[in-house]
Chains A and B, each alone.
Chain A
Amino acid sequence: MQVWALIVDSFRDAIDRKIFWIMLVLSAATAGAMACVSFDAEGVNVLFGTWHIDSEFYAVGSETGRSAIAATIIKIVFDLSIGWVGIILALIATAGMVPAMMSPGAVDILVSKPMSRHKLFFGKYVGAMAFVLMQATVFVFLTTFVAGWRWKCWILELLWLIPLTVLLFSYVYGFCALFGVLTRNAMASLLLTLVAWVGVWAPQTLYETFVTFEEQIDPDQRYQRAVGALKWVLPKTQDIPLIAGKLAGAALMSDVIATESGTVTDGKKEPTIDPRQAEERLSDVNIAVSIASSLAFEGVLVAAASILFRRKDF
């Protein structure tokens, strides 16, 4: 009952913020924009026949057309959920929750209730997750449905992105909650979280670089091992798209990886990793180990935050 009340309260808190509605509008707008586009035998049909772009690449019926459409869908849905856009919006919406709970005058009543401070903190934490779960569900359902309905391409595996978005968010929110307790300031904890996110991202990217250019810059694998260890301890945020790709279907795997780690020049993707290598990497990812070790790190952050919260005098 108590945790449920805290979750409901987190929702009310979130709904009260503009960002909540911005996120819903963005979800609807994305789905709406997708619905304005359809594909036929000759190419792309925009705004129900207003424009027609002849394209063999996107033509329905051809093998390349199907996979091109699927790749586009995946690109859109991936980028806006487990890409940085969705996560940053979710952080903006939730970064203030812990500081608000701890604000003078508000915290007094909360901590005087017959529940442990750990439970109180946990309830608030889960509340933020529940909010992101709701937003992710709306977005993924809408886009998946529109893709199936208008683009005739049902990829139900995309629904995996709902839990994966929450998971990725939770990796990052662990930092946010800790900084929230430390600074008691929404903006400060948001900025520090972004810094931490970069700090988590860097070793993963560096590791890839050292692996790829091993012969040139790191012949005795010293850096590779050091960064690898760091990467192993920290949350593996960049495994999420790989896991998503793995779950969304093996046929689309290389597309996904090219999309995720490629650079775009002149409208063409230039994968930094060639697809074969990418597939290799993908099969390298042990989903259970990746998630478990990341959650362990998140657990340490949340435990630290909760202990600090418990010890505080207000």
Chain B
Amino acid sequence: MTLQVTEITNLAIDLIGVRKTYRKKVQALRGVNVQVGRGEIFGLLGPNGAGKSTLVKIMMRVVRADAVMGTVLGRPLGNKNKLAVTGYLPESHRFPGYLTGMQVLDFYAALARVPRPVRRSRAPGLLDRMGLTRWADRPTREYSKGMLQRLGISQALMNDPELIVLDEPTDGLDPMGRRDVRSMLLELKKAGKTIFLNSHLLSELEMVCDRVAILNEGLVARQGTLAELTQRTVEYRIRTSGDLQAIRGEIEKRSGTIRNGQIVLGGRDAQGVNELIDLLRQNGHLIEAVEPHRLSLEDIFVEALGQSTAAPAVSQTGGRKA
């Protein structure tokens, strides 16, 4: 019964010090720590080549880590019983073209030790949910990229997994498809599943993730709940009419800065905002807007990569590709 002690941990994924160097040259992961709670949607974010897929592949035994400690679902990495209750959608996966959609689900679920009657009863429902019913008996070589992606997600759900690991799940999907995936993720979360997802699409993560980690050059640069990360810094932006240069000194005395013709005040300092407004009024400026500004995940992301969040061009774009 000592075994059960580790099960009690409420972390679905608890990996410490993950290192991987490919062919003695490419340092893909340089000591990564990730903790994912049970029932959470966790997003791993990072630019191309950051090592996101490598981390997922290590979790799924596709790649062997040079060093790794910790557990997945309370068991050491690669435990077969836990793999049997894990669903995995690899990045740019390929199914044998000769298998039909139905056969794909049946074949991979058989490898995941799902009994035949369960496979038979579960597959049609998943195909239906992914809008593939009409294609169930067509070979997958006739599928479009989006259909393959949806089939891939169905495949990852065939074993009714406790943990679902998705590498770029919305890759190749149109906006409608993306929305479907998002609502499905939330549905799965409601059913108590843990979801680990890789994405370079910031907006996607922002909409569904409870917690995120930002991976850069093989290291976790930030990790936390979205609220923790984004509410950490708030700034106020004041838009006015007229030339601010004349009172620049006064503004800066009150820790404001002028950026893009707007006054920006860092921190959550409502008192400071009011002092600035008084100053502007006294000088005959018309206040057009006062906006509290939460940093977006993207701002955090860019900041984590060591660039300035102040660059206006960056904060204007939404959901930039990483």
Contact = CB atoms under 8 A, between A and B. Distances in A.
Given A113-B83, A114-B83, A313-B63, A105 B90 contact: yes
Given A104-B94, A111-B60, 20 more contacts: A1-B110, A4-B110, A5-B110, A8-B107, A9-B107, A12-B99, A13-B98, A103-B94, A106-B93, A108-B57, A108-B60, A108-B62, A108-B90, A112-B83, A112-B86, A114-B81, A115-B111, A313-B63, A313-B64, A314-B57
B88 interface: yes
Given A113-B83, A314-B63, A5 B107 contact: yes
Contacts of B113: 1-2, 114
B27 interface: no
A9 B96 contact: yes
30 contacts: A1-B113, A1-B115, A2-B111, A4-B110, A5-B111, A6-B111, A8-B107, A9-B96, A9-B99, A9-B107, A16-B97, A16-B98, A103-B94, A104-B92, A104-B94, A106-B93, A108-B88, A108-B90, A109-B93, A111-B62, A112-B61, A112-B88, A112-B90, A113-B111, A113-B112, A114-B80, A115-B111, A311-B64, A313-B22, A314-B62
Interface residues of A, number: 28
Contacts of A105: 90, 92-94
B159 to A, nearest CB: 9
A202 B120 CA distance: 52
Given A2-B111, A5-B110, A106 B83 contact: no
Nearest to A100: B96
**Which has the most chain A C-beta neighbours within 10 Å: B62, B83, B97?**
B62
B135 interface: no
Interface of B: 22, 57, 60-64, 80-81, 83-84, 86, 88, 90, 92-99, 103, 107-108, 110-113, 115-116, 155
A195 interface: no
A106 B98 CA distance: 13
Contact of B94 (A1, A9, A12, A106): A106
Contacts of A1: 110, 113, 115-116
A189 to B, nearest CB: 18
A299 to B, nearest CB: 25
Smallest CB-CB A-B distances: 9 pairs = A105-B94, A16-B98, A108-B90, A5-B110, A112-B60, A113-B111, A114-B83, A114-B80, A114-B84
A106 B62 CA distance: 11
A115 B80 contact: yes
Nearest to B58: A313
Contacts of B22: 313
Contacts of A114: 80-81, 83-84, 111-113
A116 to B, nearest CB: 8
A109 B108 contact: yes
Given A111-B61, A114-B83, A313-B63, A106 B111 contact: no
A107 interface: yes
Contacts of A311: 64
Interface string A1-35: 11011101100110110000000000000000000
Contacts of B60: 108, 111-112
A313 B28 CA distance: 13
A12 B98 contact: yes
Contacts of B57: 108, 313-314
Contacts of A13: 96, 98
Interface in A104-132: 104-115
Contacts of B108: 109, 113
A103 B93 CA distance: 10
Nearest to A2: B111
Contact of A12 (B88, B92, B103): B103
A2 B110 contact: yes
Contacts of B83: 112-114
A12 B106 CA distance: 13
A42 to B, nearest CB: 52
Contacts of B155: 109
Nearest to B115: A1
Contacts of B103: 12
Interface in A190-214: none
A106 to B, nearest CB: 5
